[in-house]
Amino acid sequence: MSCIRFNTPAQRAQLARMAPTMKSAEEIAAEHPAPPVTESKIRRLRILAESPVGKIRESVASSYHTPADVIDKLAADPDESVRAVLARNETTPCDVLRSLADDESATVRGWVAVNYFVPDDVMVKLADDSDDTVRRLVAWKASLAAEAELTAQPA
């Protein structure tokens, strides 16, 4: 006896009627709004940025609400992982990304290369980086951009 079950047309119609409707990302976001950014949250970020624990400073570096002066301080953090998290944060200012492109760590420079908002002049600079992995990340990102352009052009 087969374990395959075949639905009748009536069963398939009932399943189609009962199928959940898909919501857009905007509809879901409207149903679940993020809490407002308060002065208290900013104060906590400032306090946490001073933590001796690198993972806590990483969480501050990853926040979209970290104040600019704290970002500047984290860009010079002695812990490479904190600088790497800051390099991949999409809200990190372009000037900070420019400075991180000169970081001693190839990991940090690699994260700068794949940041969506990195300036073009930084990408040109990183294309000639001393580290092979960083250069390959720049080439990979350029290939993605070229592919996106090809698919966006009308046929």
Give the DSSP letter string of 47-113: HHTT-S-HHHHHHHHH-TT--HHHHHHHTT-S-HHHHHHHHH-TTS-HHHHHHHTT-S-HHHHHHHH
b or e along 93-120 (b: 16 or more beta carbons within 10 Å of the residue's beta carbon)? eeebbebbbebeebbbbbbbbbbeebee
Please tell me the CATH superfamily of domain 37-152, with its number.
Answer: Leucine-rich Repeat Variant (1.25.10.10)
Q: According to the model, what pLDDT value does residue 35 have?
A: 85
What's the predicted TM-score (pTM) here? 0.76
Distance CA 52, CA 49 (A): 9
pLDDT digits over 31-45, tens only? 998 888 999 999 999
Can you give the residue ranges of every domain in the chain?
37-152
**pLDDT of 2-22, one tens digit each?**
667 778 889 888 888 888 888
What pLDDT score does 23 carry?
85
On whether the CB atoms of residues 88 and 105 are closer than 8 A, the answer is: no
For residue range 69-92, list pLDDT tens digits in order.
999 999 999 999 999 999 999 999
pLDDT for residue 1: 53
Q: Which residue has the tokens 């993972």?
A: 55
